[in-house]
Structure 1
Amino acid sequence: MAKLNFGGTVENVVTRDEFPLAKAQGVLKDEVVAVIGYGVQGPGQALNQKENGINVIVGQRKNSKSWDKAVRDGFVEGKTLFDIETALAKGTIICYLLSDAAQIAMWPTVKKHLTPGKALYFSHGFGITYLDQTGIVPPKDVDVFLVAPKGSGTSLRRMFLQGRGLNSSYAIFQDATGKAFDRVVALGIAIGSGYLFETTFKKEVYSDLTGERGTLMGAIQGIFAAQFEVLRKNGHSPSEAFNETVEELTQSLMPLVAENGMDWMYANCSTTAQRGALDWWKKFRDATLPVFNDLYESVATGKEAARSIESNSKTDYREKLEVELKELADSEMWQAGKTVRSLRPENQPAVADDVKEASKMETTSN
C-alpha cells in the first residue's frame, strides 16, 4: 500500500505496480468467485475477471434476459453459469451485485450459504450501511468488503478492453479470516481497477448517493435543462441550444478536463471564455451549495435510502420508471440530442466512405 498526497491530504492507495495481476491471481487461485446478478455491474466485473484468469462463475435467475446475456457472453450452463442457489453454494467469494432492492429480497437465501471462511463482496455500501433498513447483517465468521468502481459496469468493461483501468474505492467491513485485505485488493485488480483508494462502507455510500443525485446525473441534467430552456426561450434553435449546452461539453471539453484538469482548461481557452468562467463559477457554486448540503443531509440521515427502498420495492416500479424515463427521452433537448448524435461523422458511414473515395481519386489523379 502506498501513501500519496492528494492536494495536501495523504491517502492510502494500491496501484497495479505494487499489486500486479500475477499477485492477484496467486491470492485468488484457490477461490471460486460467484458473481450473483448480471445486470449493471455483473457483466463487466465477471468478464474482466474471467479474462484475467480468475475462476469465476455467474449465478442468475434462469429464463431471464440477464441469463440469456450471460450465455451470449460465453458463460456455460452447468460449468460457469448456474441458478443463484447453486452458485452461492459453490462460491467461496460471493460478489453480491444485485440491485439494492433485490439484495434485500435475496438476503435470506444468500445468508444461509455464507459458511465460515467465505467472503461477501459488495460494489456499493448501501446494504451494510443502512442495515437497520435492509436487514443485511452478515455472519461474524465471514469476510465482508467492497470494491466500488467509479463508473458504470459498461465503462469498466470498455476501459478494460482498451487496456486501461477504472479507478475504484475499497473498504473492509469485517476481517474474519485475516486475509480480507489481500482478497479485496486482488479482486479490485482482477475486475480491472486502475488504482484502488481506501474508504469505508459508510463513506462510499454517502459519496455515491450524493454524486449520483448531484454532479454525475441529477444536477447535470438539471443544469442542462435550465440552460437549454433559457437559450430556446431567447430564440436559439434546438441544434444551437443543444450544441452549446451538451455537445461541446461532452465531446470537446470534458475529455480535455479528464486528461489535464479544469485549471488547464481555464488556462487554455479564449480570454473571453476565461474571463466569463472565472467570473461565474463561484456564483454557480454559491447557488448550488445549499442544495448539496440538503442532499448530503438527506443521504446521511437515511432519507434517500428509505425513499429508494420504498419506491424500488413496489410491484409497479418498472412501469412508473419507464414513464419517467420516457418524459426525459421525449423532451425537446434530448430529441435534439438524438439528431445531433446521428450527425456525428462516425455515425455517417456513407459520408465517411465518400470522403475516403474522394481522397483516393485525388491521390490517383496526382
Structure 2
Amino acid sequence: MTTGSLGFETSVFDKEYITLAGQREGIVRGGRDLFDRLPRAFEGINQIAVIGWGPQGSAQAQNLRDSLAGRVRVVVGLREGSASFDAARAAGFSEADGTLGEMFAVVAASDMVLLLISDAAQAALYERIFAALRPGATLGLSHGFLLGHLDQRGGRFPEGIDVIAVCPKGMGASVRALYLQGVETNGAGINASFAVEQDRSGRAVERALGWSVGLGAPYTFQTTLRSEYLSDLTGERAILLGGVHGIVESLYRRFRDRGMTEVEAYRHSVDCVTGPISSIVSKEGLIGLYRRLDPAEREIFGQAYAAAYPVGLELTHEIYDEVSSGNEIRSVILAGRRLAEFPMGKIDQAAMWRAGEVARRDRDDATLPLDPFTAGVFCGVMMGQIDTFIAKGHPYSEIANESVIEATDSLNPYMHARGVAYMVDNCSTTARLGSRKWAPRFDYLLTQTAYPAVDDGAGALDTALVKRFEDHPIHEVLRICGQLRPSVDIFVQ
C-alpha cells in the first residue's frame, strides 16, 4: 500500500527518465498508438464514471470514451435535474444505452469514479459520494482540493479504495480541443500530472497512467496529491490567472497615462502578453524571449524585470502560505456559501475590456508589438512563482508545467482569443474567486512599488536579478520539457 509517495513502476506503459536541473524524474509519453494498451491499464475496471459536466468533466468523458472505443464503458453521472443533461446527450451520452444517469446511481454502479464536479460541490457532497462507492473502487480526482478540505475537517478518504489523481495542465476546453486537433498528430494534447494517494489494489499506478494516456496527454509526470493542490491553487491565483490579470490591468493604465490610445495600450499590455510573449515562451522558453530583444530592449526588459520580480516573489510566497495553511480553501468554501446571496458579477464591462473587444476585431497577430517593458514585468512575476515553488521543494516538472507551460500552451491562447476578462469570468468558481481576490494585490504592488522604482531611476533596482535570470536553471528545464511538446498548437476560434 502506498500513500502519497513518489516513485512508480509500470508494466503497461514505457517509463523513461528525464533529468531536470539535476533531478531525475520518471515520465510516461502519451500517444494514440498506446490506446490499445488501455484495457490492460484498466484491468478489473468494467465501467468508468465521470461525475460532472463542467469544463473538465465534459472534456474528459468524451476523450476517454473516444480513446477506449467501447472496450471499457464510460458513463456520465449528473445531479438529478441538472441542466447539463441536454449537453451530455448532445455529446452522445444517453440514458437509453446506459451511458448517462443520476450521479449517485452511477457512482454505485461503477468500478472507477472520476469526481469532476466543482470544488464547492465536492466539499458539500463528498460524504454521500464516499458512502455510495463500491468496496474496492477507484476514486479519481483532477485536483487535490478535496484532500485539502479533508485535512481541514480532520477527515480521510475511505480505507478500502484506491485514490488517484490525473491533473491536466490546462483548462477543460484545451483538453478536448487539442485532443481533437491532434487526431492526425500522435501525442497531441495537454500534459498531465498523476498522483497515487492510496493503492489498495496494487493497480493504482496503471489506472492513473491509463487515464492520463486516454485523455491524450503528451507526457505524464508524477507528483503527490498534496503537492498538486498547493501548486495548482497557488498558480491559478498567481501567474496563471490572478497574476496576469493584475499585470495587464496595471500595464494598460501605465500605457494610457503615457499617451497611448485605448487600443494601443491594449495591444502593448494584453495582446502582447497573450500573443507574442506567450507564443515565443511556449516554443523557445523564457530565455528565448530574452534573446529576441536587441540590447536597448534588453535594458528596458531588465529594469522592468528587476522591479516586478520582487512583487511576484513576495505575493506568490504569501499565496502559497495562505493555501498551505488552509486559509485559502476555507475562503473558497465560505465564499461559495455567499454566492446565492452575492453572486459574482462580470469584470468585462470596464473601459479596458471594451477596448479589447474593439482591438480584437481587426487584430493582425503578425504585427503585434513585443513590448520589452511588458515582457520584463510578465517574466519577473512568472519567475517569482518559479522560485517560490523551488523554495517549497516542488519537482521541476511540476514547476515548469504549473508556472510556464500551462500558461503559454493552454490558458493564454484562450485569453488571446477572447480576453483575460473572459477567462476570469468563465473558469472554475475556485479560480474565479482566487483571481478576484489576488489580482488587485498584483495590480496594487506593481503600480505602487514596481513602476515607481523604474521611474525613479535604475539605481533603486537590484540589477543582479537580471544576471540571475540569465543563468537560471529553469531555462534548461523548459528546453527539455519542450522536446516533449507536441507539434500541434492549440487553435481557439
Matched, 1:293 2:317: yes
Shift of 1:60: 0.7
Which of the pair has more CA radius of gyration?
1
Aligned to 2:299: 275
> Matched residues in 1 for 2:330 and 2:60: separation?
28
2:78 aligned residue (52, 60, 85):
60
Aligned to 2:23: 9
Candidates 46, 67, 70, aligned match of 2:88: 70
Distance across 2 between alignment mates of 1:159 and 1:73: 17
- Asked whether 1:140 is paired with 2:155, we answer no
Corresponding residue pairs, total:
341
Q: Deviations over 1:184-227 (max 9, x none)?
A: 11111111212111111111000001101000111111111111
Q: Does 1:186 align with 2:210?
A: yes
- SS of 2:338's partner is coil
2:117 equivalent to 1:98: yes
Aligned to 1:116, the other structure's residue is in SS state coil
* 1:208 is aligned to 2:226: no
Q: Work out the CA distance in 1 between the residues paired with 2:196 and 2:290.
A: 39
Counterparts of 2:226 and 2:33 in 1: how far apart (Å)?
A: 25
Name the structure 2 match of 1:27. Answer: 41
Give the drift of 1:250.
1.4
Moved over 4 A (4+): none
Letter in 2 for 1:140: E
Equivalence for 2:351: 332
Q: 1:260 to 1:170 in 2, by over 3 A?
A: same
**Residue in structure 2 matched with residue 228 of structure 1 by the alignment:** 252
- TM-superposition CA deviations, 1:57-111 (whole Å, max 9, x none): 1001244322111111111124211011221122110000011110122223211
Contact kept in structure 2, 1:146 and 1:170, CA below 8 Å? yes
Separation in structure 1 between the aligned mates of residue 148 and residue 225 of structure 2, nearest angstrom: 6
Summarize deviations over 1:236-279 as a string: whole Å, max 9, x none: 21000000001122122211210111111211233332332234
2:50 partner letter? V
Which residue does the alignment assign to 1:110?
129
1:40 aligns with 2:55: yes
| Distance in 2 separating the partners of 1:3 and 1:86 | 41
Partner Cα distance (2:74, 2:122) in 1: 20
Cα deviation, residue 343, structure 1: 2.2
Q: Which residue number in structure 2 is paired with residue 362 of structure 1?
A: none
Equivalent residues of 2:48, 2:114 under 8 A apart: yes
AA of the residue aligned to 1:310: L
Letter in 2 for 1:250: T
The whole-number CA distance in structure 2 between the counterparts of 1:343 and 1:73 is 33
Structure 2 CA distance for partners of 1:315 and 1:241, relative to 1, 3 Å: closer
Percent of aligned positions that are identical: 31
Q: 1:21 to 1:135 in 2, by over 3 A?
A: farther
Residues 167-197 of structure 1: CA deviation (Å, up to 9, x unaligned):
1111100001011010111111111212111
Equivalent residue of 2:343, what SS? Answer: helix
CA contact 1:104–1:135 (8 Å) conserved in 2: no
Distance change >3 Å, CA 134–CA 271, structure 1 → 2: same
CA pair 145-176 structure 1, distance change in 2 beyond 3 A: same
Question: Is the Cα–Cα contact under 8 Å of residues 30 and 216 in structure 2 kept in the other structure?
Answer: no
Cα separation, 1, equivalents of 2:55 and 2:302: 38
Equivalent runs, 1:242-257 vs 2, <5 Å: 242-257=266-281
Q: Which residue of 123, 143, 153 maps to 1:124?
A: 143
In the aligned structure 2, how far is the partner of 1:223 from the partner of 1:232? 14
SS of corresponding position for 1:52:
helix
Q: Which residue of 1 aligns with 2:262?
A: 238
Cα distance change of structure 1 residues 249 and 307 upon mapping to structure 2, 3 Å threshold: same
Does the alignment pair 1:320 with 2:343?
yes
Q: Which runs of 5+ in 1 are unaligned?
A: 347-366
Kept after mapping to 2: 8 A contact 1:210/1:296: yes
Flag the 1:227–1:120 CA change in 2: closer, same or farther, 3 A: same
Q: In 2, distance between residues paired with 1:76 and 1:240? A: 49
Whichever residue aligns with residue 33 of structure 1, its letter is I
Deviations along 1:26-50, one digit per CA (max 9) or x if unpaired, are 3226431100011121011000001
Matches of 1:198 and 1:73, distance apart in 2: 31
Question: How many Å apart are 1:19 and its aligned residue?
Answer: 9.2
Deviation at 1:17, TM superposition (A): 6.6
Contact 1:58 1:75 survives alignment (8 Å) = yes
**Greater Cα shift, 73-82 or 106-115:** 106-115
Secondary structure of 2:191's match? Answer: strand
**Structure 1 counterpart of 2:420:** none
Contact 2:31/2:217 (<8 A) preserved = no
**Partner residue, 1:51:** 66
Instruction: Name stretches of at least 5 consecutive residues in structure 2 with no aligned partner.
Output: 1-14, 183-187, 366-493
Corresponding letter in the other structure for 1:340: A
Partner in structure 2 of residue 355 of structure 1: none
1:357 maps to none
CA contact (8 A) 2:31 2:213 kept: no
Q: Secondary structure at the match of 2:84?
A: helix
TM-score (ref. length: structure 2): 0.66
